[in-house]
Structure 1
Amino acid sequence: MRVVIVAGSPEPSSPRFVEKLCSTADYLIAADSGANMLFKLDRVPDLLCGDEDSLNAETLVWLDENNVAVEKVSWYKDDTDLGLALKMGMKHAAEQNRQANFTVTCASGGRVDHMLGVFGVLAQLARTTTEQQCTLHLQEDNFLCRLLRPGERWVLPLDASGHVLSAISLDTKTVLTEQGMLWCPTHSEFGVLDDRGVSNQVQNKDASIVCEQGLVAAILLRQKAEAMKQQ
């Protein structure tokens, strides 16, 4: 089951990109102000999660008119709207006896603290689940990220050749192997937020990354390496 979560970062992804992701969703969740984007697209979510503190008045009316289910919490809460949306997505998938394949968007733009918090929330869910329970992707206009647990392998898209891949460890000790890259680390150990995994280049169409231990955020930039050098 593909669960798409539209969050509310200060600089969201483009409407066209969000529309494309929404069209693939089996279950669509708005994480609080993410509903403002969905209102603009006239994409009715299956669920709204959050404290509703950042929703436009017209969005609230639209949600009510479309009888959208709401998981409302107090603004004084020990969780983020994204964290709540992930939990509700897991709950819905479990009720359907299906795997939750999460795609999160409009979550990482505009504020570095929000971006780091997003990776923290995703990492927490990854540590408490298995690949059989859920997969975790973060997608914006300019990158595709997948979180990999021990034993998980990501075969990169066929059109990734020539693009940049950065592997960021989200654990104190992460061991990974990359194939089909300009540099091919093999059983290499990385510390938390180690920058040695930044800016590798995809060389082959069958390129892949495997997490052997720890937790890694594998980030594929949509811009080719040559174009980045020219900027």
Structure 2
Amino acid sequence: MKEPIITVCSGGSLGGWALPYITKANYVIGADRGAQFLVEQGFSPDLAIGDFDSVSSEQAEAIRHASKQWLGFDAIDKDYTDTQLAIMHALELQPAQIFLIGALGSRYDHALANIQLLEVALEQKISMSIIDQHNMIQLMEQKLTIEEHGFRYVSLLPYTETVTGITLQGFKYPLNLATLTKGRSIGISNELQNTKGTITIHSGKLLVIQSND
């Protein structure tokens, strides 16, 4: 059975801001310390997954007890991060949308690896957003309609070497069939004129980052 919305909770920066993305989901996955956050907030994860090396043995047992399903992995004998394991499972369920929270934080290597997971979802034509208190990050090709969601700024960064045919509708600073290449910051800090805007491109893949201060 397909789940319309899946929220994956990883072990990075989390807080009260994350709760709406958990409550609106039809299926919730906790990855390692992200599962601990879910349990602490009174949620029963549909799946807890990972090696659980970021929690104590007592916490791990509490997570196992509170979760509807548990998939444990050896901390050494695995090829993927806990977050990627969680995303792989979410993609198998073929949802309409995935929210990935707790994917950003002090570990920049993990943050970059998690951003690259957006491409895995995009290849399967599944909408996926990485969200924290200050940012919403999406990867697009062809067309994307975005809503403000409380994020004032919208920045466009080429994910591929070149992105062509960029056209913006509903933005303070419009573009018409523009080209962006890596290493140029011309796409930083645009703003929506109202609550929605549309981005279309002809070729390439584009990171769309909504943010606030």
TM range (shorter): 0.7 to 0.9
Equivalent residues in 2 for 1:172-183, closer than 5 Å: 172-175=161-164, 176-183=166-173
**Paired residue for 1:90?**
91
Does the CA-based 8 Å contact 2:147-2:197 persist in structure 1?
yes
Residue identity in the other structure for 1:88: H
**Paired residue for 1:3?**
6
Distance 1:125 1:92, change over 3 A: closer
The two structures, once aligned, show a CA RMSD in angstroms of: 2.1
**Paired residue for 2:51?**
51
**Paired residue for 2:130?**
138
Q: State how many pairs are aligned.
A: 208
Q: Which runs of 4+ in 1 moved over 4 A?
A: none
Cα deviation for residue 194 of structure 1 reads 4.1
CA distance in 1, matches of 2:90, 2:62: 22
Cα deviation for residue 193 of structure 1 reads 6.0
Equivalent residues in 2 for 1:206-221, closer than 5 Å: 206-221=196-211
Q: TM-score w.r.t. structure 1 length?
A: 0.81
**Paired residue for 1:39?**
39
Distance 1:193 1:51, change over 3 A: farther
**Paired residue for 2:187?**
197
Please, which runs of 5 or more residues in structure 2 have no aligned partner? Answer: none
Does the CA-based 8 Å contact 1:148-1:215 persist in structure 2?
yes
**Which of 108, 111, 117 lines up with 1:121 in the alignment?**
117
1:71-116 CA-to-partner distances (Å, cap 9, x unmatched) read 22232322121111111011123xxxxx331000111122222221
Deviates more, 1:58-67 or 1:171-180: 58-67
Cα deviation for residue 142 of structure 1 reads 1.2
CA distance in 1, matches of 2:184, 2:72: 38
Q: Secondary structure at 1:79's aligned position in 2?
A: coil
Q: Secondary structure at 1:107's aligned position in 2?
A: coil
Q: Secondary structure at 1:103's aligned position in 2?
A: strand
Q: Secondary structure at 2:186's aligned position in 1?
A: helix
Cα deviation for residue 67 of structure 1 reads 4.8
CA distance in 2, matches of 1:148, 1:78: 27
**Paired residue for 2:147?**
156
Cα deviation for residue 51 of structure 1 reads 1.4
Please, which runs of 5 or more residues in structure 1 have no aligned partner? Answer: 94-98, 224-231
Q: Secondary structure at 2:201's aligned position in 1?
A: strand
Residue identity in the other structure for 1:39: V
CA distance in 2, matches of 1:199, 1:185: 13
CA distance in 2, matches of 1:56, 1:36: 10
**Paired residue for 1:13?**
14
Q: TM-score w.r.t. structure 2 length?
A: 0.87
Q: Secondary structure at 2:175's aligned position in 1?
A: coil
Distance 1:145 1:100, change over 3 A: same
Q: Which structure has the highest helix share of the two?
A: 1
Cα deviation for residue 68 of structure 1 reads 3.2
CA distance in 1, matches of 2:109, 2:87: 19
Q: Secondary structure at 1:197's aligned position in 2?
A: coil
Does the CA-based 8 Å contact 1:158-1:206 persist in structure 2?
no
